[in-house]
Amino acid sequence: MSRDSFYITTAISYPNGKPHIGHAYELIATDALARFQRCDGKDVFFLTGTDEHGIKMLQTAKKEGISPRELADRNAAAFQRMAVALNASNDDFIRTTEERHYKASQAIWKAMADRGDIYKGGYAGWYSVRDEAYYGEEETEVREDGVRYGPQGTPVEWVEEESYFFRLSAYQDKLLELYESRPDFIGPAERRNEVASFVRSGLKDLSISRTTFDWGVPVPGDEKHVMYVWVDALTNYITSLGYPDENEAKWKFWPADAHIIGKDIVRFHAIYWPAFLISAGIELPKRVFGHGFLFNRGEKMSKSLGNVIDPFTMVEHYGLDQVRYFFLREVPFGQDGSYSHDAIVNRTNADLANDLGNLAQRSLSMIAKNCGGVVPARGELAEADKAILAQAVDALATARRTMAEQAIHQALAAIFGVVAEANRYFAGQEPWALKKTDPARMETVLWTTAEIIRRVGILCQPFIPGSAAKLLDLLAVGEDQRGFGHVDTLDALVPGTPLPAPQPVFPRYVEQEPAA
Ligand code: MET
């Protein structure tokens, strides 16, 4: 039987600079969503990459006195290193300067042209290089500094040149129908309302080529033009699956289950992209989800650490799974959030070091000391044992439901709700006292606690994969016994099975003495 497939993507980043926390955040969140479906038995394909064309790249390269390709090579390598440093489980990393991508972009262009949706004209209007976006005059404003700005607060400049146009205006009704008939197409819901009202206010045809520079994918049949960067950028999502060769093994992953992007680029993904795809006769993705932005609110952090906005430094300083956990648990996915040194330390010390780490360390040490270092004997389960074990099963159900709508923080809240309850259970059962009064019951309590840790360990894998693996190793859980299908069973921890010596998994963050 073939497994259900699941395709998820991040936006591809402009490598005009080094990766920052915003990029890391999106990649971590998308990685958790991808890993979650893998743990749930799906055949997952997870794509990330870099968006290397456009004027912004060209201008930055000029400023640095290097070619745009050198700039792209240098920074794309940093984005690839970041993916490794964050333990991202992406199956491919696409660079839009690759041959395969030129092929795909030219193919989708031809398909749109064959449909009669591309015509040549003259463009005269406002363009923001920072956003790589065209804006209607009514979306711009001249501020006190005399400069004209677009709706995202970036300066715009007047552009006039011969260009190809995409007949976007012809798609207004189809798009509105799409938002109407598939209310889940855009998430979170506020984003959908914004997009729908923008579309309702009227769509103009879109200028999709440039002639004043040649850093881009050449327009097929008219090489004086290069494609507008967003036309080729959006195509990356199908390039990676082998488009235009729909017989390619990877094509089965299309349509994408979710494009995870920042809220500032929802317009491109929820208006242009579906219009291009309808025009080219390609199925539409199932969902576009716009997450919020992160703000650094902690002065203390920058004082003690220098530039912790750098994801590499942050991970080195706090630990990878600490950073992953913090962002995924603290910030409701889809909303803006803030981070600070204190918030990271409080959150990870409380949840990881205290709640989960201590529970594992205390119970596993007791097992090592009092049960001969093997899985304890399991007597008949009391109501309290059954209740806490059932809570982990409920958490899986909640996580499945919330992760399906990208509410990552809610999934984690449910899982760590089990951890909090397990601490109350452990304290209430007092296995250390049972040692003298009822050693058999002590073993059952320790077995139940170990079993809870096994279940929580399995559930934590998408979010904190390295630490979750360590927890499962401590319980001698086989590599092939770690999927979500193994949560709801009483037979996984077999009494008498030898366990490795317990090791602390979540170190407590200890404040360093300020430098004298
Ligand atoms: N490079 C774009 C950005 O960072 C995203 C492109 S996603 C197809 O805004």
Q: Which residues line ligand 1 (CB under 6 A)?
A: 11-14, 51, 233-234, 236, 265
72 in helix, strand or coil?
Answer: helix
Strand partners, 480: none
Distance 455 CA to ligand 1 centre (A): 38
Distance 303 CA to ligand 1 centre (A): 32
Which pair of structure tokens corresponds to residue 84?
A: 């490794």
The residue behind tokens 């309702």 is: 200
Distance 227 CA to ligand 1 centre (A): 15
pLDDT at 357 over 70: yes
d(CA 31, CA 19): 16
Ligand 1 pocket test, pick from 265, 269, 277, 288 with the greatest ligand atom count within 8 Å of Cβ, gives: 265
Instruction: Using DSSP bridges, classify how beta strands 118-128 and 133-135 pair: parallel, antiparallel or unpaired.
Output: antiparallel
Ligand 1 pocket test, pick from 8, 10, 13 with the greatest ligand atom count within 8 Å of Cβ, gives: 13
User: Residue range 184-207: average pLDDT?
Assistant: 96
Tally of CB atoms within 10 A around 401: 13
Q: What is the pLDDT of residues 312-348, one digit of tens each?
A: 999 999 999 999 999 999 999 999 999 999 999 999 9
Distance 232 CA to ligand 1 centre (A): 10
- Above pLDDT 70, what percent of the chain? 97
Ligand 1 pocket test, pick from 48, 51, 105, 293 with the greatest ligand atom count within 8 Å of Cβ, gives: 51
Ligand 1 pocket test, pick from 9, 10, 12, 264 with the greatest ligand atom count within 8 Å of Cβ, gives: 12
The residue behind tokens 């969140």 is: 29
Atom of ligand 1 nearest to the CA of 236: 8
pTM, whole model, 2 decimals?
0.96
Instruction: Using DSSP bridges, classify how beta strands 209-210 and 226-227 pair: parallel, antiparallel or unpaired.
Output: antiparallel
d(CA 155, CA 141): 9
User: Residue range 493-513: average pLDDT?
Assistant: 94
* 270 phi, psi to nearest 5 deg: -105, -10
Atom of ligand 1 nearest to the CA of 14: 1
Ligand 1 pocket test, pick from 8, 14, 56, 154 with the greatest ligand atom count within 8 Å of Cβ, gives: 14
Q: What is the pLDDT of residue 298?
A: 54
CA dihedral for 229, 231, 237, 242, sign (positive or negative) = negative
Q: What is the pLDDT of residues 51-61, one digit of tens each?
A: 999 999 999 99
Distance 321 CA to ligand 1 centre (A): 26
Task: State how far the alpha carbon of 181 is from the alpha carbons of 55, 154, 177, 411, 440, in Å.
Answer: 37, 34, 6, 27, 59
Distance 54 CA to ligand 1 centre (A): 11
Of the pLDDT bands very low, low, confident and very high (cuts 50, 70, 90), residue 386 is very high
d(CA 246, CA 104): 11
Atom of ligand 1 nearest to the CA of 269: 8
pLDDT at 302 over 50: no
The residue behind tokens 């990870």 is: 348
286 in helix, strand or coil?
Answer: coil
Give the 3-state secondary structure percentages of the chain, helix then strand then coil, rounded to 5: 55, 15, 35
Strand partners, 207: 165
Distance 75 CA to ligand 1 centre (A): 15
- H/E stretch holding 480: none
d(CA 275, CA 281): 10
Atom of ligand 1 nearest to the CA of 132: 9
Atom of ligand 1 nearest to the CA of 51: 1
Distance 188 CA to ligand 1 centre (A): 19
Distance 409 CA to ligand 1 centre (A): 24
Are the CB atoms for 89 and 8 separated by under 8 Å?
Answer: no
The residue nearest atom 8 of ligand 1, judged by CA position, is 234
The residue nearest atom 7 of ligand 1, judged by CA position, is 11
At a CB cut-off of 8 Å and minimum separation 6, what does 270 contact? Answer: 179, 185, 186, 191, 192, 195, 288
User: Residue range 419-440: average pLDDT?
Assistant: 98
The ipTM of this complex is 0.98
Of the pLDDT bands very low, low, confident and very high (cuts 50, 70, 90), residue 303 is very low
d(CA 302, CA 341): 8
Q: How far is CA 315 from the centre of its chain?
A: 17
CA angle at 305 for the pair 304 and 306, rounded to the nearest 5°: 115
Sketch out the chain's domains with CATH numbers.
5-117+167-291 (3.40.50.620), 341-498 (1.10.730.10)
Residue type, 174: K
Distance 14 CA to ligand 1 centre (A): 6
**Residue closest to 237 by CA, chosen among 368, 507, 48:** 48
Of the pLDDT bands very low, low, confident and very high (cuts 50, 70, 90), residue 380 is very high
Are the CB atoms for 411 and 460 separated by under 8 Å?
Answer: no
Atom of ligand 1 nearest to the CA of 234: 8
Tally of CB atoms within 10 A around 119: 11
Total H helices, total E strands in the chain: 19, 16
Distance 133 CA to ligand 1 centre (A): 11
Distance 279 CA to ligand 1 centre (A): 21
- Write the DSSP assignment of 6-39 as a string of letters: EEEEEPPBPTTS---HHHHHHHHHHHHHHHHHHH
Q: What is the pLDDT of residues 160-184, one digit of tens each?
A: 999 999 999 999 999 999 999 999 9
Are the CB atoms for 456 and 396 separated by under 8 Å?
Answer: no
The residue nearest atom 3 of ligand 1, judged by CA position, is 13
Which pair of structure tokens corresponds to residue 449?
A: 């606690």
Task: State how far the alpha carbon of 104 is from the alpha carbons of 66, 91, 97, 222, 386, in Å.
Answer: 27, 19, 11, 17, 55
The residue nearest atom 4 of ligand 1, judged by CA position, is 13
- Write the DSSP assignment of 66-108 as a string of letters: S-HHHHHHHHHHHHHHHHHHTT---SEEEETTSHHHHHHHHHH
- Above pLDDT 90, what percent of the chain? 94
Distance 377 CA to ligand 1 centre (A): 55
**Residue closest to 96 by CA, chosen among 33, 176, 41, 15:** 15
